[in-house]
Chains A and B, each alone.
Chain A
Amino acid sequence: MARLSLWKDGLHTNDYKFMDRRISEMFTIGGTGILLNKYLGPIQQTDSTDLTQPDYTNQSAQNIQDMLWLENRDRKYDTNVYKMRGIYQRGDADFDLSQFGLFLQTGTIFMVFHLRDMVDMIGRKLMSGDVLELQHLKDYDALNEDVPAALKRYYVVSDASFAAEGFSPTWWPHLWRVKLNPMVDSQEYKDILNNIAAGSGTTTPVGDILSTLSTYQNINNVIIQQAEADVPLSGYDTSKIYTLPTNDDGTVAIGTPVTADINSITADNANVNASSGVGSPLAKVEGYLTGDGTAPNGLPTGAGVSFPSNPAAGDYFLRLDYMPNRLFRFTGSYWTKIEDAVRTNITPGTDNSTQRGGFVNNTNTFVDRAGQTHKERQLLSQVLTPKADN
């Protein structure tokens, strides 16, 4: 009589199969419903010229997008959702308040799946990067009652291995244990967040109602608006300050304002306005970054790339062909510099014309001898390097 042995030289015996079916049945009976968003591999980056970031023609979970940093940033997920059953131990959830908001302190959970059922269904074991939706944790009572669907709970597989408790007396494993972390709204999961509807009856992407991104961006915008209200432009605002008009000898200059009582002025005289005759200061209030290109005391200012032909003494003119723009005053015989318009918006962006901002937010272009248009702003490592003929 052969000796009793549940181990049969590496074969999956009927004993194994019997136990595996019973275990699978346990998952069917007592497991919770899981929807799997299967990771398929990095999305093809067709314009890559970096050898460490290959342009894969075959999509595979075995591909690595960035060979240097060893990471997959732009991930493709199966458009099909797989229904699975998993078992895990519930625990009370507490939040950690971090500088980036509330995080689930006990957010990491460990869940087991039936190994053979899993492989039969998705063609492989669950791996790091797979995204699971735990259906029983769907939140129907968000604070914002206007969200179009219940809030789904997503987890990301970070580690996976055979569960210790999943080995039967045949010594073959029956369970696959995965370590799950709460998903975040990041680049890696945009394929899910942007392309899966938040629920039935709505086309709103699930990311739009789950993510705090737009909320924080709105908060950021409000802060920027207040900051721009406090400091619209760099330097100091002297526009509300009155500048004493003086003559060349330093005495106070007081002009004769034009009024409607002056008979010699008619309505068709285009050169006369309410500011005509008001004293024209020789300079403006001086200070650090006070130049804004406007004439002192709000007097009229012409602007252009060349001086007007028939200026009157005391006229101001802003030359737009100077960088920064330069404000001049006509003395009666020549134009003298008053100030440079150096005040600028200091919010990072295209309105920022500081020296450093001028290198970053440069949208100018030029045309080369071949008639091709190029951007002035070029990355330093690629300046004047050979370009493809086409």
Chain B
Amino acid sequence: MSAVLFAYDGQIRRFVTQFIRMFSNFQVEFGQDTNGTRTLQTVPVYYGDASRQASVILRNNSENSLNAVPAMAAYISGLTYARDRVQNPTYEGTLRIRERTYNEGSQTYANTQDGIYTVDRLMPAPYTLGMKLDIWTSNTEQKHQIIEQILPLFNPSLEIQSTVNYVDWSSLSVVQLNDVAYTSRSVPAGGDESIDIATLSFELPIWLSLPAKVKKMGVVARIIASVYDAQGDLNADLLATTQQLAFQQRYTPMNYKVFYSGNSLTLYNGTANESDDNIFGTTADWHGVVNFYGTLVNGISQVRLSFDYPDGPHEIVGTVAYNPTNPSQLIFSPDTATLPANTLSPVTAIIDPFNVEVNSTLLNPTTGTRYLILNPIGDINTPSAVAWAGAPGTNLVANANDIIEWNGTYWTVAFDSTNSSVEYVTNLTTTVQYRWTGESWVKSYEGLYNPGDWSLVL
């Protein structure tokens, strides 16, 4: 049979600690001694229900020790369920908290954001904690000195707190003075030898809480199924600081655009736009965005780029690192498995037949050379140019955006741009991949990503 998971927070203990604090540091003044000096003595406050052994230790295990007076003893006189303060017992209060980053080395908090958490708290149970404060004095004047300092503070109550935790909604209460028993003696005293004690009775409406549920907020970016290894232990990579797979969160910052070009991601403000491969807008600092959400670990943290083409959604995943020379750029290393696959054999280069330099490379191409052409070549009725030899007896006729290929003897049209299907091809000269939209060639995944189309995984 399984046991209840142990949970003890010392809630009542903390209230009693604060209660004793509340009455500490009060002093009494003695009259002049033989030197004419008045003495102030601090009145000790302690818990009034000590164990016998502790009391013996305090007395030095001797009958001859002297109990000190004045003194105050606080103790719990009752703990009752407060039916009149019952609220919806099933209510769960939820709080979302962003933590500041904590530097373990310097043991200080930085001004950047760390984790984001959701805290679920179940309605605490209302109880009334009865406390008594016994004040032992050796004479009447001394008693008045103490109670005159304490009683005006309770008009009718003083606040008390058990913690300063912002999340702990049961930490605040009040100490309400209900009754004052001026003396434990009777008048006339007769043969009474008992010590004189004034008793103040207090009530604290407190709340006792169950443990809270603390959850790390974030979007599920990856479901890791293989969390256990062959021995049944947690996979070390999950917890390894070099991987941090179990701790990563995905954020999708808004109001910022990312321009992907080459191996870099440049951050732009949300007003940036793209025209003819040119970006018009103001760059922003990656540190500001990243620190807002957490900490970027070079080579571990990721950026994910999303786009949705007619052939389906794509997401490019790559690790990033700060560019040490340009704070607005991240160095992006995409996982090639996440890049769109080429549907056509790569081209040697992109050329404009109208402006291409006719040299030996063009006149003596190797077999398999492929060019993506920006302007048309040839006409059925016009003999082909020397460089663009067609099949024997025919002229090479190719449209703009076609891909032509040298088969060792003459040029053929390897891709007909009148084809409307989506195709991907890489330019071997620049290693840039292009996508045929049915109307034009565009960079397949490089370019400007709008807010919502890119994410940080920290």
- List chain A positions with a Cβ less than 8 A from chain B: 43-47, 65-66, 69, 71, 73-74, 76, 93, 95, 97, 99-104, 108, 137-139, 141-144, 147, 151-154, 158, 181-188, 190-191, 193-194, 207, 210-213, 215-217, 219-220, 223-224, 226-228, 230-245, 251-252, 254-257, 259, 261-262, 275, 277-279, 285, 287-288, 290, 297-299, 346-349, 356, 360
Contacts and interface: CB of A to CB of B under 8 A. Distances in A.
Given A45-B32, A242-B114, A288-B172, A142 B62 contact: yes
B22 A348 contact: yes
A220 B58 contact: no
Given A210-B66, A212-B66, A244 B98 contact: yes
7 A-B pairs with least C-beta separation: A99-B48, A213-B68, A74-B31, A227-B21, A186-B138, A99-B73, A242-B98
Nearest to A347: B21
B205 to A, nearest CB: 16
A99 B21 contact: no
Interface in B4-42: 14, 17-18, 20-26, 28, 30-34, 36, 39, 41-42
Given A97-B52, A223-B45, A278-B112, 15 more contacts: A69-B140, A71-B141, A100-B195, A108-B193, A137-B63, A151-B65, A191-B33, A191-B34, A212-B58, A219-B44, A223-B46, A242-B100, A254-B284, A256-B285, A261-B327
6 contacts: A45-B31, A47-B32, A216-B68, A241-B100, A242-B99, A278-B111
Interface in B250-293: 254-255, 284-285, 287-289, 291-292
Contact of A348 (B26, B49, B99, B139): B26
Contacts of B158: 356
B contact patch SS: mixed
Contacts of B109: 239-240, 298
Nearest to B111: A297
B172 A183 contact: no
Contacts of B61: 142-143
B153 A184 contact: no
Contact of A234 (B69, B99, B111, B159): B159
B427 interface: no
A216 B172 CA distance: 28
Contacts of A186: 68-70, 138-139
B57 interface: yes
A69 B292 CA distance: 69
Contact of B31 (A43, A153, A158, A234): A43
A53 to B, nearest CB: 9
Contacts of A259: 287, 327
B161 to A, nearest CB: 5
Contacts of A69: 139-141
Given A101-B50, A235-B164, A217 B42 contact: yes
Contacts of B288: 254-257, 277-279
B122 interface: no
Interface of B: 14, 17-18, 20-26, 28, 30-34, 36, 39, 41-42, 44-46, 48-50, 52, 55-71, 73, 75, 97-100, 102, 108-114, 134, 136, 138-142, 149, 152-153, 158-159, 161-166, 171-172, 193, 195, 254-255, 284-285, 287-289, 291-292, 324-325, 327
A76 B34 contact: yes
Given A235-B164, A254-B292, A65 B31 contact: yes
A238 B162 contact: no
B99 A241 contact: yes
A346 to B, nearest CB: 7
A185 B164 contact: no
A99 B166 CA distance: 35
A240 B99 contact: yes
Contacts of A226: 17
A257 B60 contact: no
Contact of A237 (B24, B110, B159, B166): B166
Contacts of B17: 223, 226-227, 230
A236 B166 contact: yes
Contacts of A143: 56-57, 60-62
Contacts of B291: 257, 278
A142 B63 CA distance: 10
A139 B61 CA distance: 10
A215 B58 contact: yes
Nearest to B71: A100
Given A99-B134, A241-B98, A43 B21 contact: no
A29 to B, nearest CB: 27
A46 B36 CA distance: 8
B217 to A, nearest CB: 13
A185 B68 contact: yes
A251 B270 CA distance: 12
Contact of B165 (A45, A193, A236): A236
Contact of B111 (A43, A103, A230, A298): A298
B415 to A, nearest CB: 45
B23 to A, nearest CB: 8
Contacts of B255: 251-252
Contacts of B284: 254, 256
A151 B32 contact: no
A262 B166 CA distance: 38
A187 B139 contact: yes
B60 A142 contact: yes
Given A212-B67, A256-B288, A347-B21, A242 B30 contact: no
Contacts of A100: 48, 67, 69, 71, 73, 134, 136, 195
Contact of B44 (A104, A217, A244, A256): A217
A154 B65 CA distance: 9
B292 A223 contact: no
B139 A73 contact: yes
Contacts of A184: 66-69, 138
Nearest to B21: A227
Contacts of B113: 242, 244
Contacts of A45: 31-32
B24 A347 contact: yes
Nearest to B33: A43
A210 B65 contact: yes
B285 A257 contact: yes
B58 A101 contact: yes
Nearest to B38: A47
A241 B139 CA distance: 51
- Most chain A Cβ neighbours within 10 Å, of B49, B59, B67: B67
Given A101-B58, A188-B139, A230 B162 contact: yes
B74 to A, nearest CB: 9
Contacts of B71: 100, 216
A66 B100 CA distance: 62
Contacts of A224: 20-21, 24-25
